[in-house]
Amino acid sequence: MFWLLIMLSGQGSCEVLRLSPDSSSLMQKISEAVSGDTILLDAGIYTGISNCNLTLSTSETTIRGVDGPISTIIDCSFTNSRHFTITGDNITIDGIQFRSGTSLPASARPFLPPELAALSTLDFAPEPDDRRGGCARILGAGAVLQNSWFINCTASSGGAIHVLSVSGRTTLTALLLTNNSAAALGGA
What are the pLDDT digits (tens) for 111-135? 444 454 444 443 434 445 567 788 8
Which span out of 2-16, 127-141, 154-168 was modeled with the highest average pLDDT? 154-168
CB 170 within 8 A of CB 138: yes
pLDDT tens column, 61-120: 999 999 999 999 999 987 778 889 899 999 999 999 999 988 876 555 444 444 544 444
Instruction: Tell me how crowded residue 133 is: count the other CB atoms within 10 A of its CB.
Output: 30
Rounded Cα distance between 117 and 107, Å, is 9
Judge whether residue 188 has pLDDT over 50: yes
CA distances (Å), origin 97, targets 117, 118, 157, 165: 21, 23, 20, 23
Give me the percent of the chain exceeding a pLDDT of 70: 78
CB 112 within 8 A of CB 134: no
* Predicted TM-score of the model (pTM): 0.80
Q: Note the pLDDT of residue 126.
A: 42
Beta strands 181-185 and 72-75 are: unpaired
Give the residue with greater pLDDT, 5 vs 185: 185
Q: Write 106-109 long-range contacts (CB < 8 A, 24+).
A: 106/78, 106/80, 108/156, 108/183, 109/78, 109/154
Rounded Cα distance between 78 and 187, Å, is 16
CB 187 within 8 A of CB 181: yes
CB 110 within 8 A of CB 137: no
